[in-house]
């Protein structure tokens, strides 16, 4: 008779354990960390470029960039003033996982920093499942993606701690029903803090920067 072995273990438990280890390291170094997630082109790197110049005179910022290929985004972060920028090439994987961030943390002297920004691979599905160990998960939605995205990608919208709505400068040109969008968000993630911004015009960025600074100082 074959034997049934009970396990009851989370399928991604190995990732979750390593995420916790990452978290302890980041926390012990006194660094505030965010995991920036969004579909390709929503403006993750643009937001980093707009954010860094407003922080780097007071805070030391490290950026870890996940992409399938190239180091273009890490180069943009460095040019925008990141004191350290590390590119992770996932070689095809559609998301960062805790192992990859672990490797990047090994290359950083964490104590030298106040803020760690992780730019995840552009993808609105997979990154939601792989915890990295950062303090907060931030989703960037953008106007040209359409107002139905919370309904179509509930997994991503459900799990995040903050929502940036980027490219609001395009609202006059694109049909985007903000109340329909926000009802979808509310149903998945009630009361999530939301920052409508434009990385092109700079509108709305003050509130986002304030939120970051509050969290860094805590």
Partner 1 sequence: MHELSIAESILNIALCHAEKVSATRISDIHLVIGKLSYVMDDSVQFYWDTIAKDTIAEGARLHFKRVPAELLCLDCSQHYAPDGETLACPNCQSTRVKVVAGEEFRIESIDVETPSSPSPLPLGVEG
Contacts to Mg ion by CB under 5 A: 44-45, 73
**201 burial via Cβ count (<10 Å: 0-12, 13-18, 19+):** exposed
Binding mask 69-108 for partner 1 (x = CB under 8 A): ------------------------xxx-x-----------
6 binds, among partner 1, Mg ion, ligand GTP, none (CB under 5 to 8 A by kind): partner 1
Q: How far apart are CA 70 and CA 92, in angstroms?
A: 12
Closest C-alpha to 58, from 210, 164, 194: 210
Closest C-alpha to 96, from 13, 19, 9, 17: 19
- Interacting residue ranges for ligand GTP, rule: CB under 6 A: 38, 40-46, 73, 122, 166-167, 169-170, 198-200
Which of 57, 173, 175, 190 contacts partner 1 by CB under 8 A?
A: 190
Determine phi and psi for 154, rounding to 5 degrees.
-60, -35
Q: How far apart are CA 44 and CA 119, in angstroms?
A: 7
179 binds, among partner 1, Mg ion, ligand GTP, none (CB under 5 to 8 A by kind): none
- Residues forming contacts to partner 1 in the complex (CB under 8 A) are 1-15, 93-95, 97, 125-126, 129-130, 151, 154-155, 158, 183-184, 186-188, 190
């Amino acid at each position: 008779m074959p034997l049934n072995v009970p396990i009851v273990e989370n399928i991604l438990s190995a990732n979750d354990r390593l995420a916790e280890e990452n978290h302890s390291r980041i926390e012990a170094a006194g660094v505030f960390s965010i995991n920036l997630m969004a579909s390709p082109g929503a403006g993750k790197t643009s937001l980093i470029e707009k954010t860094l110049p407003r922080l780097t005179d007071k805070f030391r910022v490290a950026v870890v960039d996940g992409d399938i290929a190239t180091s273009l985004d890490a180069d943009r972060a460095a040019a925008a003033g990141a004191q350290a920028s590390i590119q992770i090439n996932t070689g095809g994987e559609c998301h960062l996982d805790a192992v990859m961030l672990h490797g990047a943390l090994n290359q950083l002297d964490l104590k030298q920093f106040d803020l760690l920004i992780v730019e995840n691979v552009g993808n609105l599905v997979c990154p939601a499942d792989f915890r990295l160990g950062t303090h907060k998960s931030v989703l960037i939605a953008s106007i040209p993606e359409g107002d139905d995205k919370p309904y179509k990608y509930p997994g991503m919208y459900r799990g995040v701690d903050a929502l940036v709505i980027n490219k609001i400068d395009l609202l006059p040109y694109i049909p985007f029903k903000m109340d329909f969008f926000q009802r979808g968000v509310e149903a998945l993630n009630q009361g999530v803090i939301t920052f409508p911004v434009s990385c092109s015009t700079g509108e709305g960025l003050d509130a986002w920067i304030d939120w970051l600074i509050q969290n860094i100082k805590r």
